[in-house]
């Protein structure tokens, strides 16, 4: 099985400047790579070449370090060890911080965000996207965030055969970490795309960053937004399928693929990790559920696109 990620991040950073703005644009430095099976990008604005090269270098090193913690498919990663053995002693502090964020989003979404869904994902993948009801039931029995124990000494599962996938939030968490790293090094204007997008300050045109929202990476952006000092994450239930069959977003309550409520859900929040987790869960929600969910958060903005051109915009200031 060669599945690079549990969910498809349907978002592209609008790095290209609009026509007619080149004369006023500041110098930029760009870097692209791959992490957690997805394209990652960085654009720094207004820095000299040497400083920008140094920041790109430390960003790459931090990205590699964090990938060794959260990768689902690197055999030596901390997450892979936890999934293989059912426990991880002396877990790294970043893992504990991320799991605490998972718990908060799990509670806020009434359990719709649940990274213990990995056994169910595996059942769909191994069955080419169409497992039998018995296999779904067997995998579903291993799901439950309440069966995960974590503290400074150890992370463990209460049930044999459980596994975590952090691909519904780790990209956002890494985006937040890289953004904080750049900020601590004096960066004020940059866009960080580590699977989710964080827009710092202004773009080269001295305006808020223009970010494109798409349902698939090979399609043009269906919508663009302007962001400054905020993050955005997008989930598209049909943006990626398991073995060409089921939606990659699975409902932890039922074990079934995401219903066809939305073709794309984008969440804007100061934290990319929060936006990441909420966008996954919101893909499983109808409008009233979204309204109820975001009441527990400040500064949340949801942009959802549904069948037949239906649009939904929700905001909590």
Annotated binding site for Mg(2+): 168, 276, 280
d(CA 86, CA 92): 16
Place of tokens 């990659």: 248
Residue 114's nearest CA partner among 94, 140, 132 is 140
According to DSSP, the residues that pair with 43 across neighbouring strands are: 30, 191
Q: SS3 breakdown of the chain: % helix, strand, coil, rounded to 5?
A: 35, 25, 40
Distance from C-alpha of 111 to C-alpha of 246, rounded to nearest angstrom: 21
Cα–Cα distance, 7 to 141 (Å, whole number): 21
d(CA 284, CA 33) in angstroms, rounded, equals: 31
Furthest CA-CA distance within the chain = 63
* Integer Cα distance of 246 and 249 in angstroms: 8
Q: Alpha-carbon distance 119 to 160, whole Å?
A: 11
Instruction: Return the closest-CA partner of residue 233 out of 192, 201, 202.
Output: 192
Residues annotated in a binding site: 168, 276, 280
Distance CA 123, CA 121 (A): 5
| Residues 102, 222, 26: CA angle, nearest 5 degrees | 85
Distances in whole angstroms, Cα of residue 287 to Cα of each of 68, 75, 143, 168: 37, 40, 26, 21
Q: Which helix (H) or strand (E) holds 122?
A: helix 118-126
Tokens linked to 31? 């870097």
């Amino acid at each position: 099985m060669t599945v690079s990620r549990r969910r498809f991040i349907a978002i592209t950073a609008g790095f290209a400047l609009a026509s007619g703005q080149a004369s006023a644009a500041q110098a930029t430095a760009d870097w692209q790579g791959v992490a957690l099976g997805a394209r990652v990008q960085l654009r720094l604005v207004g820095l000299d070449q040497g400083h920008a090269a140094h920041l790109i270098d430390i960003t790459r090193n931090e990205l590699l370090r964090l990938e060794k913690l959260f990768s689902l498919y690197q055999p030596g990663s901390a997450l892979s060890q936890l999934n293989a053995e059912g426990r991880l002693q002396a877990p790294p502090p970043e893992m504990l911080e991320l799991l605490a964020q998972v718990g908060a989003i799990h509670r806020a979404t009434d359990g719709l965000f649940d990274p213990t869904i990995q056994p169910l994902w595996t059942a769909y993948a191994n069955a080419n996207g169409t497992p039998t009801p018995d296999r779904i039931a067997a995998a579903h029995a291993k799901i439950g965030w309440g069966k995960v124990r974590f503290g400074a000494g150890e992370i463990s599962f209460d049930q044999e055969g459980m596994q975590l996938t952090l691909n519904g939030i780790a990209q956002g968490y890494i985006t937040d970490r890289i953004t904080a790293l750049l900020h601590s090094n004096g960066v004020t204007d940059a866009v960080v795309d580590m699977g989710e997008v964080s827009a710092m300050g202004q773009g080269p045109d001295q305006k808020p960053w223009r970010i494109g929202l798409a349902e698939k990476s090979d399609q043009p952006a269906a919508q663009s937004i302007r962001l400054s000092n905020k993050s955005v994450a997008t989930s598209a239930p049909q943006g990626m399928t398991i073995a060409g069959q089921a939606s990659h977003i699975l409902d932890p309550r039922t074990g079934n693929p995401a219903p066809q409520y939305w073709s794309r859900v984008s969440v804007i929040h100061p934290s990319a990790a929060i936006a990441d987790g909420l966008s996954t869960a919101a893909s499983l929600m109808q409008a009233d559920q979204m309204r109820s969910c975001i009441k527990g958060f400040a500064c949340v903005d949801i942009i959802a696109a549904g069948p037949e051109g239906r649009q939904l915009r929700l905001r909590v200031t």
